[in-house]
Chain A
Amino acid sequence: MTILETPPDTVRPGGVQVPTRAGSAWDRVRHGLDTYAGVGGVLVVLCVYLSFTQDIFFTWANWLTILEANAVVLVVAVGLTFVLLNGGIDLSLGGIMALCGVIMSELILNGWSTWVAILAVVALGTLCGVLNGVLVGKVGLSFLVVTLGTGQAFRGIAQVRTGGQTQSLFEVSLIRRLNEGEFVGIPWLVWISLVVLGIGIVVLRYTGFGRMIYACGGNREAARLAGINVTAVSVSVFVIAGCLAGLASVMDSSRLLGASPTAATGIELTAAAAVLLGGTSFMGGRGTLLGTLLGVLFLGVLANGITLAGISPFWYGIVSGTVLIAAVLLDRIRNGKAKP
């Protein structure tokens, strides 16, 4: 094939003006506004309202509280974004977290070095992800069935091992430091979640693997015929989600200073709500991690505002659920004319 050595932004033989650069900065801002209009708009409205009604809301300390309270959900949501972009969902993440937390405390109480125990449970989470990934991507079972089943099984193992008891990690110094420690005024947990988010953004945007996930989620058959190993991609997104769930369990255990087999119950659904709020398509192929961050922030700010205003916390579900459906509806209306 001949590649024409023509300068960019000229009229070509085909008579078509082809800009090779993406649009101006303003274009990108506008595109961004358009993409995140739903959740971003509601988030801004909520923030403005809260900053007028609650004096404490717009303080550095309160924002750190929000970020810290949602660091665990953010890490889980990053992993789940990978799975959703590929066109699946992982319902076992809460189960993986419970299992990892329990095993970690068990290892530490048995005298393992805390660092080794942490690495071991991140590896364990990854392994759980491999199991999900192989059953879904390689064997070809339904992701709903598989992750529903493995999630229950993982949590079951955690319950059997502990007899349902919560194990305290109050005495473990590294876990305490993770809980209380700060770096340049920002808690460790927040740092970890932001680094995970940053790595995720780079992987999705700037690596071939990231683009493959979008392609597989957008049209699996086309991706396969284009020479992409769709099985490997399907397996790996579950592995990533499992690995991050393992990490999240360490963070969660340090936040609660203990490990319980009922920890993180339903966290995968909270994370899924955040991811979907952020504009990621349930059918896969569309979405960004920035959107996921906005989704997590929205849920966090909402919970924070309800607490500050002293409203019954039961309102939380009503508002977040309604906004979720409204956001997806808005997305549908805007993309109404796109081909399937």
Chain B
Amino acid sequence: MMSPPTSPTDSESAATTADAADVVLEVRRISRSFGPVRALDDVSLRVARGEVLALAGENGSGKSTLARIICGVISPDSGEIRLGGEPVSFAGPHEALAHGVTLVSQEPTAEPHMTIAENVLLHRLARPWSIVRKRELVRDAKVYLDEVGLDVDPLMPLGALRHGAKELVEVAKALASEPRVLILDEATTRLPDPEHLFRVVERRCNERGMAAIIITHRLREIRRLSHRAFVLRDGRAVGELGRHDLSDEKISSMMVGRELGEFYSKHQHPLGDVVLATDALVTDRSPHPVSVEVRSGEIIGVAGLVGSGRSELLETIAGCRKAHGGTVTVNGSTLHNKSPREALLAGISLVPEDRWAQGLVAHDLIVGNIALSRHRAFRRTDRRRDRRRAADAVSTYSVRANSIDMPVANLSGGNAQKVLLARCFDHDPTVLLLDEPTRGVDIGAKAEIYGIIDRMLANGVGVLLASSDLMELLGLCDRIIVLHEGEQVGELEREEASEELIALLSAGGTRV
């Protein structure tokens, strides 16, 4: 643990960084829990007119929760938000929008069937009694499209735009609401040229005094754009860094709060035969073939930006998506019809990216979720066996639960993830496909999950790990393959891999 330079829970000292008269947004002692997980614990911050504040922190540190509270998407358990000195409480995003607080989030919120102009000025259409004049709409939309530098016909349906341009429309839409506070939550991950967006934001801040809060994983972007960085760790504010303190080392050590070595328990396991091989496998998302080989006891990382095809690759191997070409070979035998069932029986187990949408039956009990893959249609269910195995799994993977008769919806993210892992291990897989296994999981559970993965490797399982957490990839993997827009642009040995190199390759750059 390092001592924070300022104590941000003390709102008086925060005032030193932003002149009190200029403060647009003030967050006072916000706390918020999801079930047993404390996502935010007594967090306070201030943003001044024209200032760009970076929110930094690892996955699951509470950045997005804070952003969503400020924008009224979720409400805090305690604490208050002041806007221009007035306490406000938003019943929903529409109220925040009306007060000039706008969020551009990771997930696109646009309507693909509506025209670009309608999307940009959606807040105007939200007034049900107003009359929409097409010419006016086009003229006004054009102003904001010009501002983000997008030269398109505003009457085109949004769906016709390519990726990258859609995200810019999203930004134009946010600017059209004339925000006093603009929050960009990982908005640059899909953009081909983030620098362009930065100039747009800077211009707004300088000329019109807009305040901006940016959330990004890329330390470079924090250095480039922000005046101040506010660092969160496990839901708590751990400190602030002023413009002159913004170095990669300072930010990341503050984010992580420990040495990496002790956290990632990487043991070298003896490598066996090739358990998984894909030969020129083409997914339904990109025309590029991907070939990868995983040996028994080996863990291969899959790196790439959001939308680079990491999840698609894993899901295609697991038979959940149609392959458009190429083969998947498990333990020397090639899969034929590529259904999830065939892959499962062949020994492939996928831990999907979105544990609630793709992994767990939320209202079902722990025991039911763990037994899910065991059911055979014309076989009696063996409740005693299912219960025994669930109880064993719960203790083996230290799931914190009162009983196996608890709905998984009541578990924290980390414990729910452990239940999902338990199910995937329940039928002794030889190949494990992990897609963001620790996203939104607290630090303690994260370490435990790494321990579980390590045990699987020791048992001779081959692992393919897709993650947006570079530290995780660097800490765990024997080799890392890098994807850029579906194309396999690099394969790095453990020794040569570095955060910079992976970031460079996944952004489409080439090695020097």
Check if A and B associate: yes
- Residues A206-228 near B (CB distance < 8 A): 206-212, 214-215, 218-219, 221-228
Quick one: which of B358, B396, B426 contacts A225, CB cutoff 8 A? B358
Q: Which residues of B contact A2 (CB under 8 A)?
A: 396
Interface status of B114 (Cβ within 8 A of chain A): no
* Chain A residues closer than 8 Å to B398, beta-carbon distance: 13-16
CB distance from B48 to the nearest CB of A (A): 37
Which residues of chain A (13-35) have a CB below 8 Å from chain B? 13-23
Is A208 a contact partner of B379 (Cβ separation < 8 A)?
A: yes
A211 neighbours in B (Cβ, 8 Å)? 368, 371-372, 375, 381
Do B387 and A20 touch (CB < 8 A)? yes
Interface size class of A (residues with CB under 8 A): 35 or more
- Given the known interface contacts A2-B396, A16-B398, A338-B362, the answer about A226 and B373 at a Cβ–Cβ threshold of 8 Å is yes
Kindly identify, within residues 409 to 459 of chain B, every residue whose CB is under 8 Å from any CB belonging to chain A. 409, 423, 425-426, 428, 459
B contact residues around A285 at 8 Å (CB): 361, 363-364
A218 touching B371, Cβ below 8 Å: no
Interface centre among B345, B362, B371 (most CB of A within 10 A): B362
| CB interface residues, A 255-293, toward B, < 8 Å | 285-286
Bound complex: CA A225 to CA B372 (Å): 10
Q: Is the CB of B364 within 8 A of A225?
A: no
User: Interface 1/0s, chain B 12-35, versus A by CB < 8 A?
Assistant: 000000000000000000000000
The interface residues of chain B lying within 8 Å CB-to-CB of A6 are: 392, 395
Partner of A221, one of B358, B364, B377, B423: B358
A222 and B405 form a contact (CB under 8 A):
no
Within 8 A of A (CB), among B370-393: 371-381, 387-389, 391-392
Partner of B372, one of A1, A18, A210, A222: A222
CA distance A186 to B358 in the complex (A): 48
User: Which residues of chain A are within 8 angstroms of B377 by Cβ–Cβ distance?
Assistant: 207-209, 212, 232
B90 at the interface (CB under 8 A from A): no
Smallest CB–CB gap between A211 and chain B, Å? Answer: 5
Q: Which residue of B lies closest to A18 (CB)?
A: B391
Interface hit among B78-86, B140-148, B286-294, B349-357: B349-357
CA distance A214 to B352 in the complex (A): 20
Q: A229 an interface residue at 8 Å Cβ cutoff?
A: yes
B387 and A21 contact, CB distance less than 8 A: yes
Among candidates A3, A15, A21, A339, residue contacting B392 with C-beta atoms closer than 8 Å: A3
Name A's B-contacting residues (CB within 8 A): 1-4, 6, 8, 12-23, 205-212, 214-215, 218-219, 221-229, 232, 285-286, 335, 338-340
16 contacts between A and B (CB under 8 A): A6-B395, A14-B395, A14-B397, A17-B402, A18-B404, A208-B377, A214-B364, A215-B361, A218-B362, A219-B362, A221-B357, A222-B358, A222-B372, A338-B407, A339-B356, A339-B363
B contacts, CB < 8 Å to A: 318, 320, 339-341, 343-345, 350, 352, 356-364, 368, 371-381, 387-389, 391-392, 394-405, 407, 409, 423, 425-426, 428, 459
